[in-house]
Amino acid sequence: MNIKDNICEIVIGRRTLKWDAAWRIIEWLTKPAAGHGLGDQFREKLVLHCLQLTPKNSEIAVEYYLGKDIEGKSRHPDIAVAAPSFASPEVVALIDDLGNVSPNSSRKISNLLSYDDLAATIFPNSKRNTVVITDTTDLDRFKKLREVFSTRNESSLIFLPFQEMGHWIENMSAKDNRLVQDFVEWTASL
């Protein structure tokens, strides 16, 4: 297949990603009953990666409302994962994107810090993970973000390149869905 005929290439793009479309595909992949044919395999891999453990129970929320930051702005990470639940999490992961085009974006880094600050307030007894989904495997590009998070207590910074998600799916069964195949090919081409 020519990558130009790939639905993910068409909808999400490459140089300047359409992150909203990417998030919709990731959200779809986390729903075991969705028509992708992967069952809960992708969801389990995502939870394991984001929480850095295999929980018996976990919850995933899209656009999870954390509250308002010190400037009064509502904060919603794209995806949040908690184990065993958001009501009483032992560990919580807040997931957002930071692209290859602007790996040291002050605005995006500020958002990630706001998420972590709010999580520290509402989940004071929980381990916190900030997960950055990105379109590059060159994680050395995120020096500013790494520096800022190196001073955080009880908080870990975790990267999740699209390419890694594609590798997960390559190793899963039931990937007959055209969109799933396109996602894998697109991630490999980044």
Give the range of the structural domain holding residue 85, as residue numbers without chain letter. 3-189
User: In the prediction, which pLDDT does 182 show?
Assistant: 94
CATH number at residue 149: 3.40.1350
Q: How far is CA 144 from CA 55, 108, 141, in A?
A: 31, 11, 8
Q: Where are the alpha helices (DSSP H) in 13-152?
A: 19-29, 41-51, 106-122, 143-149
Residues 6+ apart with CB under 8 A from 139: 159, 161
The pLDDT value given to residue 36: 94
Return the pLDDT at 3.
77
pLDDT digits (tens, 9 = 90+) for 53-101: 998 999 999 999 999 998 999 999 999 999 999 999 999 999 999 999 9
Query: Which helix (H) or strand (E) segment is 128 a member of?
Result: strand 127-134
**How far is 14 from 102, CA to CA, in rounded Å?**
13
| Low-confidence residues of the chain: pLDDT under 50 | none
Angstrom distances, CA of residue 129 to CA of 21, 46, 47, 112, 132: 24, 13, 11, 11, 10
Residue 153's pLDDT is what?
Answer: 79
Domain count, the chain: 1
pLDDT, residue 175, reads 65
